[in-house]
Every structure is written in C-alpha cells, then in structure tokens.
Amino acid sequence: MGGYVIVHKDGGREILVDVRKKRVYANLHGFVSEGIFRYGQSALDAVLAILKVVEPDYIDYILDIRYCEALPTDAFNLWKEKALELAYKYPQVSIVGVTAMDSPFWLQMSQCKELFDLYGERILGVFDTLEQAELFLDKLRGFSK
C-alpha cells in the first residue's frame, strides 16, 4: 500500500491515508464493539476534517470489511448514524467497499435503505480485493502506475 500513512491502528483494525491521492482506507477486522467503533470513528472524523481543509474535488474512502463480523445492534445503529452523518457532512466523499457479498457486516450494511436511497450515487462499487478497488479508483481519478 505504497503512499499510505497509518493514522490509527487497533489490533487488526486500521485507518490509513494517502494524501496525494486524497484517499482513506479503513479496515475493520473481527469483532467490533461500540467502544472500538467510537475510537476508530474519532480517528476517521479527524482524517476527513483535515482532508476537507484543502478543499479537494473528491475524497475516496475504501472500507475493507472482508474479515469483519456482523456488528452488535448498538454498534450497528451507531455505524448507521455515523455513515449518514459522514455522507451529509462530506459531500465530496465517494465510497468503495472491499468485501464478499456474503460477508456478515456487508449483509447487515446493505439493509441500510436510507443510506443507499440518499447517497447511493456516491457508493461507487464493491470489490473482492483491495487491489481491484485501488485499480478502479486509480483509473477513475487518472492515476497511472
């Protein structure tokens, strides 16, 4: 993951940023409690606020949930609230997912009708691997290898 800098790490969960590409990568791994979620969300909020200051045309957000369990109800409700807040607060953010279609968290997330109804045009795709997601975004944004 050349170009990325780690801004948050907690066990298998991490948030990285590539400032040149205006790209954020978040990896949720294993069980995510409400406390763990809040801790990581604070780091994500800080990264997006810093990127927004430079007034970019876009910010790409890669959410890697390949190895994430379904969230407990309290953490999922918080995730849904924060996802809607993030999409509203940062209109320049576009999202791609890295997951399998039968991933427990993806199945849970895909039921969030309000998110898809309001911001579905900014959800650019779901990919099996990080490499596929990166390649898609690089082509979309005009970056060459």
Cβ count within 10 A of residue 84? 15
Residues with Cβ within 8 Å of 135's Cβ and at least 6 positions away in sequence, in order, are none
Cβ count within 10 A of residue 42? 11
Q: Would residue 142 be called left, alpha or beta, if left means φ above 0 and alpha means ψ between -120 and 50 degrees?
A: left
Record the pTM.
0.87
Residues with Cβ within 8 Å of 76's Cβ and at least 6 positions away in sequence, in order, are 70, 108
Residue 82 has pLDDT above 60, yes or no: yes
- DSSP code at position 120: G
The dotted CATH code for 5-141 is 3.30.750.24
In the chain, where the domains are located: 5-141
**pLDDT digit string (tens) for 8-60?**
787 778 888 898 999 999 888 666 655 656 667 777 878 888 888 888 899 99
Bigger pLDDT: 145 or 86?
86
pLDDT mean across residues, the chain: 87
**pLDDT digit string (tens) for 85-102?**
989 999 999 999 999 989
- DSSP code at position 70: P
pLDDT value of residue 51: 84
Give how far Cα 90 sits from Cα of 5, 15, 17, 51, 137, Å. 21, 17, 16, 10, 18
- Where does the pLDDT of residue 114 fall: very low under 50, low under 70, confident under 90, or very high at 90 and above? very high
